[in-house]
Structure 1
Amino acid sequence: MKINMTSVFVDDQAKALRFYTEVLGFLKKHDEPVGEQDRWLTVVSPDEPGGTELLLEPAGHPAVKTYRDALVQDGIPLAQFAVGDVTAEYERLRELGVRFTQEPVEMGPVTVAVFDDTCGNLIQIATQAQ
C-alpha cells in the first residue's frame, strides 16, 4: 500500500493553482471540470511527476471552515512538504511574499517552518538531518 493522493481544502481553486505552481513550484497534473464550478485539480512535485498527487479540493463542505479555522487558530499545519534545505526555502518563499507563521526551527533531527498558503491552510516545510 502507498499514498497515491492527498488533499488540501482551498477557498479558490484558481488562486490555489497559481500559488502552488507559481510560488511553491509544483506542476499541474490534472485539471478536469467536476460539476458547474469545481475542478478535479491536482499538482505534483517536479522531482516526482509520477508521484503522490496533491488535490486542491474545494472547501465547500460546511465542516471544512470549522476544521481549518481551528487548525489555524492553534497553529497546526494541515500538510507537510519535504524540502532540501528549510532555511533556503524559507528565504526564497519570503522573497516571493509568502507569510510565515513560524520561522525555521530545529526540532531534534528535523528543521521545520510553517507558512500560510493564502488559501486557508498552514503548511509546514521540513528537512530531515542527514
Structure 2
Amino acid sequence: MKIHLTSVLVDDQTQALRFYTDVLGFVKKHDVPVGEKDRWLTVVSPEDPDGTELLLEPAGHPAAKAYREALAADGIPLTQFAVDDVRAEYERLREHGVRFTQEPLEMGPVTTAVFDDTCGNLIQIATRAA
C-alpha cells in the first residue's frame, strides 16, 4: 500500500492553483470539470511527476469551515511538505509575499516553518537533518 493522493481543502480552486503552481512550484497534473463549478484539480512535485498527487479540493462541506478555522486558531498545519532546506525555502517564499506564522524553528533533527497558503490553510515545511 502506498499513498497516491491526498488533499487540501481550498476556498477557491483557481486561486489555489495559482498559489500552488506559481508560488510553491508544483505543476498541474489533472484538471477535470466536476459538476457546474468544481474541478478534479491535482498538482504534483516537478521532481516526482508520477508521485503523490495533491488534490485542491473545494471546501464546500459545512464541516470544512469549522475544521479549518479550529486548526488555524490553534496554529496547527493542515499538512506538511518536505523541502531540502527550510531556511532557503522560507526566504524564497517570503520574496514571493508568502506570510509565515512560524519562522524556521529547529526541533532536534528537524527544522520546520509554517505559512498561510492564502486558501484557508496553514502549511508546514520541514527538513530532516542528515
- Deviation for aligned residue 1:90: 0.1
1:26 corresponds to which residue?
A: 26
| SS of residue paired to 1:89 | helix
In the alignment, the residues of structure 2 paired with residue 45 and residue 107 of structure 1 have an alpha-carbon distance, to the nearest angstrom, of 26
1:78-100 Cα deviation digits (max 9, x unpaired): 00000000000000000000000
In the alignment, the residues of structure 2 paired with residue 29 and residue 3 of structure 1 have an alpha-carbon distance, to the nearest angstrom, of 16
1:72-125 Cα deviation digits (max 9, x unpaired): 000000000000000000000000000000000001110000000000000000
In the alignment, the residues of structure 2 paired with residue 127 and residue 59 of structure 1 have an alpha-carbon distance, to the nearest angstrom, of 29
> Post-superposition, which runs of at least 4 consecutive aligned residues in structure 1 deviate over 3 A?
none
1:22-73 Cα deviation digits (max 9, x unpaired): 0000000000000000000000000000000000000000000000000000
In the alignment, the residues of structure 2 paired with residue 30 and residue 108 of structure 1 have an alpha-carbon distance, to the nearest angstrom, of 38
2:90 corresponds to which residue?
A: 90
In the alignment, the residues of structure 2 paired with residue 41 and residue 90 of structure 1 have an alpha-carbon distance, to the nearest angstrom, of 26
Q: Is 1:63 paired with 2:57?
A: no
Q: Is 1:7 paired with 2:4?
A: no
Query: How does the TM-score come out when normalised to structure 2?
Result: 1.00
In the alignment, the residues of structure 1 paired with residue 52 and residue 120 of structure 2 have an alpha-carbon distance, to the nearest angstrom, of 22
- Cα RMSD over matched residues? 0.2
| SS of residue paired to 2:120 | coil
List alignment gaps of at least 5 residues for structure 1. Answer: none
| SS of residue paired to 2:89 | helix
Q: Sequence identity, in percent?
A: 81
In the alignment, the residues of structure 2 paired with residue 91 and residue 27 of structure 1 have an alpha-carbon distance, to the nearest angstrom, of 21
1:128 corresponds to which residue?
A: 128
Equivalent residue letter for 2:46: P
Query: How does the TM-score come out when normalised to structure 1?
Result: 1.00
2:51 corresponds to which residue?
A: 51
List alignment gaps of at least 5 residues for structure 2. Answer: none
